[in-house]
Structure 1
Amino acid sequence: MSTLKQRMNELSPARRKKVETRAAELVSQEMTLQELRRARKLTQVRMAKALRISQDGVSRLERRTDLLLSTLRKSVEAMGGSLSLIAEFPDSEPVTISGIASVEGAPQHRTRGVSRRASARND
């Protein structure tokens, strides 16, 4: 069994350079929210204003490991982007999942405590 280093050394210099370049591209595409914000040259204060939360709230958000998709979508949109959710399977091409991370696809729920009469007046 050979190691990755051994396999890389077996490649031609041109092929090795191509593999190393692609690996660097893939690594650069994966970022935390904090790294993404910094790459977009945004401060926590500016993000807080866009999200209408405190700067401390942005800091806490960036440290979380489990986010609602709606929260992640709002954060990405505050940076000027849009969120796509992609499912990847070993035996097929990646699939973009629609209707989950978008506002348009979200079900409309009536707020608790609002009577049907009050709801009807607002229509």
Structure 2
Amino acid sequence: MGHRKFSAIIGTIGPERRASIDAIKEAARADAIAFNLAELRKHRHMTQVDLARRLQRTQATISAIEASEDNLLSTWRAAVEGMGGRLELVAVFDDERIAIPTSLTGTVPSPTRPNPGISEKRGAR
């Protein structure tokens, strides 16, 4: 009568299209992951001792940082850099994403565009 069962529609999607859809869903899930510092460290397959060595701190210090509910941005930056990454801070609005400097140099990475056609703006210092 003009409508089809969802299972019938899904059944018509080919394996290449299904793989594409699954990749998009996985990317969306990855963007939505929120970790505290301990979870991030574990996700990167590091122990507290590993991170402590890289940051020239004690394991007890790393434990205390991870137990804190309110770490400074500089603490997050040092920890992420100690894990081999870089910390990027982005202010997200409905119409734009603005990179916020996280270093003392005030360097702002290039803005990212959530949707084509949205103007890019740089964050103020």
TM-score calculated relative to the size of structure 2: 0.60
Structure 1 unaligned blocks of 5 or more: 1-8, 106-123
Q: How does 1:25-44 map to 2 (within 5 A)?
A: 25-27=30-32, 29-44=33-48
2:105 is the alignment partner of 1:104: yes
Q: Hey, what does 1:63 align to over in structure 2?
A: 67
Shift of 1:94: 1.1
Once residues 10 and 25 of structure 1 are traced to their aligned partners in structure 2, the CA distance between those partners, rounded to angstroms, is 26
Q: Hey, what does 1:108 align to over in structure 2?
A: none
CA RMSD of aligned residues (A): 2.8
Could you say what secondary structure the match of 1:81 adopts? coil
Shift of 1:10: 6.4
2:58 is the alignment partner of 1:54: yes
One-letter identity of the residue aligned with 1:59? S
- The count of residues paired between Structure 1 and Structure 2 equals 93
One-letter identity of the residue aligned with 1:104? T
Q: Which has the larger radius of gyration?
A: 1
Q: Hey, what does 2:79 align to over in structure 1?
A: 75
Q: Larger helix proportion, structure 1 or 2?
A: 1
Once residues 45 and 104 of structure 1 are traced to their aligned partners in structure 2, the CA distance between those partners, rounded to angstroms, is 30
TM-score calculated relative to the size of structure 1: 0.61
Shift of 1:68: 1.1
Identical-pair percentage: 36
Could you say what secondary structure the match of 1:47 adopts? helix
Once residues 91 and 39 of structure 2 are traced to their aligned partners in structure 1, the CA distance between those partners, rounded to angstroms, is 23
One-letter identity of the residue aligned with 2:58? S
Where do 4+ consecutive residues of structure 1 move more than 6 Å? none
Structure 2 unaligned blocks of 5 or more: 14-18, 107-125
